[in-house]
Structure 1
Amino acid sequence: MCGLAGLLCPRTDIGHEHLLELAGAMGDALRHRGPDDDGVWADAEHGIALAHRRLSILDLSPLGHQPMASADGRYVIAYNGEVYNFAALREELLELGHAFRGHSDTEVLLAAVVEWGVENAVARCNGMFAIALWDRHEQTLWLARDRVGKKPLYYGWAGDTLVFGSELKALWRHPQFDNGVDRNALALLLRYDYVPSPYAIHTDTFKLMPGALLRFDAATVARGAAAHDPKRDQHSYWQARDRMAAAIRHPFDGDIDAAEDRLDDLLRDAVGLRMVADVPVGVFLSGGTDSSVVTSLMQALSAKPVQSFTIGFEGSHHDEAPLALEVARHLGTAHTELYVSGADALAVVPRLSAMFDEPFADASQVPTALVCALARSQVTVALSGDGGDELFFGYTRYERALRNLRLQRRVPAPLRRWLAKSASGHGEASRAGGFAAFAAEMGAQGIGDVYRNRIVRWRFPQAAVPGSKLPATMYDLAEPLGGVGTPADAMMLADYSVYLPDDLLCKVDRASMAVGLEARAPLLDTHVAEFAWSLPLQFKRGDSGSKYLLKRVLKRYLPDAMVDRGKRGFGAPVTQWLRGDLREWAAGLLDPSRLAQEGYFDAELVGGLWRQFLAGERRWHTHLWNVLMFQAWQEHWKTERNEVGRSVWMSTTGEGGL
């Protein structure tokens, strides 16, 4: 796992050394992602520079150094991620006449591009990756991202220069990147707790979508951000919606026993591929279904005890550590658990803005950061159970949405329209339950509308962010799957396409890479996902609850009593924090005069929610947490920009350099 950064300038008057300095500064901002090695490459004639920070996982020798050139010299790559099927691709390429100096997947990826071209090579890769690839013959930059969006890739304009990197902090290091806050993206943050792709918190800045390719040359860069439409210009080489629809049209034709055998085989392959590394590998174990499946399969495939890691919370009724310990003892893993206090958790909060560097408000980021730090003390790679909920009907909110859809359809259409119209005057009160919430459901045109009401924070964030408009995401589609499959399929697709990459995977990527840990998610293997999509709903939603088939597989390794347990989640007591130890911190960030001066929020509206929350009138903790995360991020961003400005000043006065 690594970090990448770079720039492409349409001007050719930038000297080679200055290009190296610019890219090197951007790469240095990502040191935490790759503490083991660094490299910079530039071609001043074409205004391109690439930087790379390496976390050595495969081929620890210098032969894995990046940026790396292809054997024929045509391509130069900076690459973040892992291609799990690289060994099979390597054998195929050897038969086609390619030779390899080392054993890294980077070298295999370059040979694949030489042999099959960029899009076909990427489509053959089973893995997680973000790629920046320069084609010397065509003078073209290619950006690519894996199918599900495990690895991040930002890009945007700094003046007339295209800049890109694994995290925004790399883009910030370019002296001309002074892009302000995109108010529309801020409204999205309030609605979802994160900024969905392809949007980013800054103007003229974007995220590459999962499963997408993007091509730039000097002419497209010169046209600038105003001419760029990410939804038009990003080209999909793989789309979850199309693949799910195809799987539903060609469903699995076996019985439940055959499905169980097939899923066990697929998961064994996925876990086995992700255990390949030249460094120690462990697993996050919460005691829930998903992490227990991954841990069970790892232990079944390992000749020695697998290292498993759990965080416990002192005095919390949500503590899963005892469940994880029970699973670990049964499987015989080398288990490490760490109990943390509320003070330990709160100590993470001031570091969140630097860790995520785009405002991010999923409060489970706190325990995720703690367990990543624990794992990194003993291993360099850790497997996780991410993806099980989105593939196997794991969220209780799916059941609630289906229930609400059934109720809504029983109400006569004229009455539904009247109720929906009356709900529009309730504002955020429609999020807090009661008649207003019921009436808000009546305007739904499909399962997508019903489900959106289950997952959004602010229902009307434009009211809180003056001058904003709310960009559309898949959650705004009444029928996310276009009417194919069941309403349950449509909800799982929306979560797989938006919530999974932009919340869950973003959270794990930033928390793990902040401590130089690589996280791998076998349940998100493409073969596992496409098989899950081919299954009838009753294989996922059995009489005993959600994840029916996944639990059947787990019962091959654990006793029934360890499997048939309720879902607890991996959260944080935000209400308790904001009324206790974080109250003073929050009050400072939400000070009405400060909000009015900064101008991003409606100070009266936000202040009213804060007062109601403190008085115990409403549980506005989720609404307030995403405002607070933006406010804290804003302070961090300004500090970082001031530091860049100071470095530039020192460079121009001869007192320092980039």
Structure 2
Amino acid sequence: MCGIGGVFNQQANNRPDPQTLVNMAAIMHHRGPDGYGYEIIDDTGVGFSHARLTIIDLNEARGKQPFLSDDSNLMMVHNGEFYDFKRIRADLTARGARFRSKCDSEIVLHLFEREGLEETLTHLRGEFAFALYEKSEDALYLVRDRFGIKPLYYTETDEGVVFGSELKVIFAHPSVKREFSSEGLYHQLIQVMVPGSTAFKGIKQVAPGHVVKVQRRDGKLELSEHKYWDVNFPQEHEYPGDEVDEQIYIDGVRKHLLEAVQHRLTADVPVGCYLSGGIDSCAILGLSAAATQTSVKAFTIGFDSDEYDETVIAQEMAEATDSDHHIMRLKAEDLYDHFVKTIWHTERTIYNTLGVAKYLMSQQVHQVGYKVVLTGEGSDELFAGYPAFRKDMFLHGLDHLPEGERKDWQELLEKNNKLFKGAMLAREEFVSPAFNAKMGFTPSCVQPWLSCADTALPLIAEDRRKEVQEYDPGKAIADTLDESMLSGRHPLDRAQYVWIKTMLEGQILTWGGDRVDMANSMEARPPFLDHHLAEYAFTVPPHLRIKGNKEKYVLREAMKGLLPETLYKREKFAFMAPPAHTDPEKWKALMKLANLFLSEEAVKEAGLLDYAQVKLTFEKHETAGVPIDEKVQLDAVINHMLGVQIMHHHFVKTDVPAMARKRADELGWHV
């Protein structure tokens, strides 16, 4: 795991500034504290930089990036992991390739030379983002993994294209403008973002499963985008009926998940596991312990609220696997005390302080000497674990059931998930005409956030509000979804597709994953998002993902022998930190931040929010008799308001290029 950055200037004789490339690496030192490198190919206007976290091939000199091909036609920088690389490497060696390192990254250069990019991508397994410049074609390829586990941003300036693993890497380049877009601001306030977008004007993300090609023609750069992979469920009529032998799928899931875990245990450093009270992380820990036949280090977050804490079940699983169990117990006020630092790393707003908790956990993982952990992310996406999926299944996917039975199941769902109403579940039904037109209904997973639009719009400063008065955030998101991947699919498949394209990539893998993990130089590997496992999971019939009222049925059965009985029988419990309104100390810590970042002076200086509406939001929150689900929603909105103000402070008000240069000086990273 590492951080990457680079420049492709329009004019070949416009040589990138070497110190700027070094500064771009320095500002993401947290992603790669074990060394840095940069390379410029003369007379191309192209330069790459790299900050390295050593996990595969610990030899600093051998594994140093950027990599150049023997004939200097190709240059590459890579962030992430390619699994099964030893087999690929052996095959390439037999075909005449000569490797200069033992790093997994180098396989791309040799695959590309022999097979071209399209075929190369079919061999790559894992979580990755890389940039590859081909001198003979005068073209740059920006490539992101299939689910978007690893980040990759880019923007166009007057001089050319700048890219990097994080926004701050791009902002370290003096030619890049740092300004909120009004649409981006709107989406930050409602949590759900338009895929491929950011909060900032002109800054884009490479979409998951996509390649952005930048080619120079006659001194100008032409950008094009190509999709090489997508979430492709079968047509609804292609699924077998209820009489299918479910054991086939149970065995298939077990086989593919074990293989995914075994690949992700490959490292030249110790590998631990994150452990919550859910079947996802417990399954990963159980398989890891069985595969290694050693005591695995397990890391658990504990909250000082019985309603949200899962440490009891996690301890039971840790004892069952004889794991070395590390529990980080957090007090209510701890989370807002580290909110500002967390936003520096997430580079987007967060609706719940779970992102802060994950940041603090990665800090502890780093402190005890671990660089790699396996996580349970992706399981709910593949096997329909979220309550929103069950709701959509009851409403749209079980037409054969009597209305009364469907209603009973839905009422039970609402009762068991009342803590999360206003966040994971909408307070009331919300309909987006654009989503209805695109896929036949508005998925329950986006309803909580789209329903915040009427609350968020008045919060935007008047001049910016006018720019988005007629803007429909639901339509903007729906327009990015590939209709060919929705047409003819089962309603549950459509709901899962939308979540994977929006909340998985934009939330769970961002402020719940890479950004808060790599903040402390810690690599998280999610076996459930192995694309071989995912492609198999897509074939599992919907009625085996949600069977009756039991979510993740096929996974539950596949892992039955590993799980404690309490966990095997337990309904999905969304992993969240206690909202601010649940604890006076936490609310006090939030208000301390609000007095600093949401004061009248701070709000007017940033020009993003309407102070009168900000004040009204707090007054509404503190009004006696406000329903709990509304307080949960208001907590999220307040976190978003804080978030945009802190982002302004970090990335607009602060001179980021100067900060990057200062960081390079502190590290002694100089040309």
Above 0.5 in TM-score?
yes
1:30 matched to which residue of 2?
A: 28
Q: Tell whether the 8 Å contact from 2:392 to 2:491 is kept in structure 1 after alignment.
A: no
Unaligned runs of 5+ in 1: 411-429
Bigger mean CA offset, 350-359 vs 212-221: 212-221
Q: Is residue 391 of structure 2 the alignment partner of residue 400 of structure 1?
A: yes
Bigger mean CA offset, 279-288 vs 91-100: 91-100
Q: Is residue 7 of structure 2 the alignment partner of residue 7 of structure 1?
A: yes
Aligned-partner Cα distance in 2 for 1:221–1:83: 35
Of residues 498, 504, 507, the one that matches 1:503 is 507
How far does the alpha carbon of each residue in 1:95-142 deviate from its partner, in whole angstroms, 9 at most, with x for none? 322232332111212111111112221222011111111112122111
Aligned-partner Cα distance in 1 for 2:395–2:509: 29
Aligned-partner Cα distance in 2 for 1:288–1:375: 20
How far has the Cα of 1:550 moved from its partner? 0.8
Bigger mean CA offset, 620-629 vs 393-402: 393-402
Given residue 51 of structure 1, which amino acid in structure 2 is its aligned partner? S
Q: Is residue 587 of structure 2 the alignment partner of residue 579 of structure 1?
A: yes
2:574 matched to which residue of 1?
A: 569
User: Secondary structure at the residue paired with 2:293?
Assistant: coil
Bigger mean CA offset, 117-126 vs 584-593: 584-593
Aligned-partner Cα distance in 2 for 1:221–1:168: 26
Aligned-partner Cα distance in 1 for 2:71–2:555: 46
Aligned-partner Cα distance in 1 for 2:62–2:23: 24
The 1:459/1:357 distance shift into structure 2, 3 A limit, reads: closer
Of residues 527, 535, 544, the one that matches 2:532 is 527
User: Secondary structure at the residue paired with 2:90?
Assistant: helix
Q: Tell whether the 8 Å contact from 2:31 to 2:52 is kept in structure 1 after alignment.
A: yes
Q: Is residue 137 of structure 2 the alignment partner of residue 138 of structure 1?
A: yes
Of residues 482, 486, 492, the one that matches 1:482 is 486
User: Secondary structure at the residue paired with 1:581?
Assistant: helix
How far does the alpha carbon of each residue in 1:10-55 deviate from its partner, in whole angstroms, 9 at most, with x for none? 134545xx62111111111111101111100012411111000111
The 1:220/1:6 distance shift into structure 2, 3 A limit, reads: farther
2:80 matched to which residue of 1?
A: 81
Aligned-partner Cα distance in 2 for 1:349–1:501: 21
Aligned-partner Cα distance in 1 for 2:562–2:424: 41
Given residue 605 of structure 1, which amino acid in structure 2 is its aligned partner? Q
The 1:246/1:273 distance shift into structure 2, 3 A limit, reads: farther
The 1:247/1:542 distance shift into structure 2, 3 A limit, reads: closer
Q: Is residue 212 of structure 2 the alignment partner of residue 214 of structure 1?
A: yes
User: Secondary structure at the residue paired with 1:40?
Assistant: strand
Aligned-partner Cα distance in 2 for 1:635–1:150: 27
User: Secondary structure at the residue paired with 1:33?
Assistant: coil
Which structure carries more relative contact order (alpha carbon 8 Å, separation 6+)? 2
1:283-432 equivalences in 2 (<5 Å) = 283-376=273-366, 377-403=368-394
2:185 matched to which residue of 1?
A: 186
Given residue 255 of structure 1, which amino acid in structure 2 is its aligned partner? D
Relative to the length of structure 2, the TM-score reads 0.85
1:609 matched to which residue of 2?
A: 617
Given residue 521 of structure 1, which amino acid in structure 2 is its aligned partner? P
Unaligned runs of 5+ in 2: 402-420
The 1:194/1:38 distance shift into structure 2, 3 A limit, reads: farther
User: Secondary structure at the residue paired with 1:77?
Assistant: strand
1:424 matched to which residue of 2?
A: none
Q: Tell whether the 8 Å contact from 2:392 to 2:443 is kept in structure 1 after alignment.
A: yes
Bigger mean CA offset, 346-355 vs 494-503: 346-355
How far has the Cα of 1:219 moved from its partner? 3.9
Bigger mean CA offset, 494-503 vs 446-455: 446-455
How far has the Cα of 1:584 moved from its partner? 3.2
How far has the Cα of 1:389 moved from its partner? 0.7
Given residue 200 of structure 1, which amino acid in structure 2 is its aligned partner? T
1:90 matched to which residue of 2?
A: 89
1:631 matched to which residue of 2?
A: 645
Aligned-partner Cα distance in 1 for 2:382–2:353: 23
1:34-53 equivalences in 2 (<5 Å) = 34-53=32-51
Of residues 37, 44, 56, the one that matches 2:54 is 56
Aligned-partner Cα distance in 2 for 1:28–1:20: 12
How far does the alpha carbon of each residue in 1:436-463 deviate from its partner, in whole angstroms, 9 at most, with x for none? 9458589955554252324536234444
Aligned-partner Cα distance in 2 for 1:439–1:494: 16
Aligned-partner Cα distance in 1 for 2:354–2:660: 35
Aligned-partner Cα distance in 2 for 1:149–1:441: 26
1:255-270 equivalences in 2 (<5 Å) = 255-270=245-260
Aligned-partner Cα distance in 2 for 1:436–1:324: 30
Identity of aligned residues (%): 26
- Compute the RMSD of aligned alpha carbons: 3.3
Aligned-partner Cα distance in 1 for 2:100–2:135: 21
Aligned-partner Cα distance in 1 for 2:425–2:501: 30
User: Secondary structure at the residue paired with 1:217?
Assistant: strand
1:418 matched to which residue of 2?
A: none
How far has the Cα of 1:407 moved from its partner? 12
1:458 matched to which residue of 2?
A: 452
2:495 matched to which residue of 1?
A: 491
Of residues 212, 215, 233, the one that matches 1:244 is 233
User: Secondary structure at the residue paired with 1:580?
Assistant: helix
Q: Tell whether the 8 Å contact from 1:155 to 1:162 is kept in structure 2 after alignment.
A: yes
How far has the Cα of 1:215 moved from its partner? 1.2
Q: Tell whether the 8 Å contact from 2:84 to 2:263 is kept in structure 1 after alignment.
A: yes
Aligned-partner Cα distance in 2 for 1:326–1:186: 43
How far does the alpha carbon of each residue in 1:453-474 deviate from its partner, in whole angstroms, 9 at most, with x for none? 2453623444443112345124
Bigger mean CA offset, 195-204 vs 463-472: 463-472
2:417 matched to which residue of 1?
A: none
Q: Is residue 568 of structure 2 the alignment partner of residue 554 of structure 1?
A: no
